[in-house]
Amino acid sequence: MKPLSLIYLIKVFLGVLTAVICLLLGVNNLFTAVALGLMIYMVSDRLLKQIFIEKVDKLSTVTKTGIGIYILTWIFFWILIFTFLNPGPIQS
């Protein structure tokens, strides 16, 4: 698998992991959620740069690759799992 494809796939899984962490911590404030998401992204970015330092031409490529899918996956799964765990009132 190519390095950029692997980085992209890792960031998809990180988005899901971030959503699960937000739910486990009971985050219900947007500011806290964004701070947690940024913190996880920044830590993972540093780790990925160390892992792929010799496999990419620029280190900024690691940061830019998959940032959109990380955010979309995180928000999608956070909302999806939250909705399943907290169903609204049933109308009859």
Reported as a single tens digit per residue, the pLDDT across 50-85 is: 999 888 888 888 899 999 999 999 999 999 999 898
- Minimal CA–CA distance to 12: which of 59, 77, 80, 61? 77
Burial status of residue 21 (CB atoms within 10 A of its CB: 0-12, 13-18, 19 or more)? middle
Residue 59, pLDDT score: 86
The pTM assigned to this predicted structure is 0.88
pLDDT exceeds cutoff 80 at 11 = yes
Q: Domain locations in the chain? A: 3-84
